[in-house]
Amino acid sequence: MAQLLAAAARARARVNHGRWIADCPRPYCANAVKLDPRQPVFHCAGEGGCQMIAEVEWPGDADGIWQALLERPVPTTRNWYPPGHDEAVRLGIPHGQSVADLRAEHREHDDQLAV
């Protein structure tokens, strides 16, 4: 059972304001931790951290997502959620976007500037 829980509790990498982070997968722990690209293990460290250790789930095209987001001049607009991420679903904002989706969104915003 403990092993089953450990396997299920994976920290999902996402981009928040131009940084890779992951939310702690432990229920009721609202901590989020900054990640280095491709960091394999999540540690809910620091003040307020529950010290949980979990595997990090990275998107297959993390580098492409990152490159697409770097094309955005404003760091706070560099955001990406994995598919079905709780917070994105709750807030009604895009999740599981492909690199093409991100570029399309970027172009849409540029078009608004041009109007």
Q: Which residues bind Zn ion (CB under 5 A)?
A: 24, 26, 29, 31, 44, 50, 52
Q: Roughly what angle, to the nearest 10 degrees, separates helices 99-114 and 62-70?
A: 10
Least separation in angstroms between CB 90 and Zn ion? 19
Between residues 48 and 96, which has the closer beta carbon with respect to Zn ion?
Answer: 48
Between residues 41 and 50, which has the closer beta carbon with respect to Zn ion?
Answer: 50
Between residues 27 and 73, which has the closer beta carbon with respect to Zn ion?
Answer: 27
Name the H helices within the chain: 2-8, 62-70, 86-91, 99-114
Between residues 24 and 68, which has the closer beta carbon with respect to Zn ion?
Answer: 24
Least separation in angstroms between CB 55 and Zn ion? 14
Least separation in angstroms between CB 17 and Zn ion? 20
Least separation in angstroms between CB 66 and Zn ion? 25
| Residue with the two structure tokens 């829980």 | 5
Cα-Cα-Cα-Cα dihedral of 6, 8, 9, 10, to 10°?
110
Tell me the torsion sign for CA atoms 86, 77, 56, 48: negative
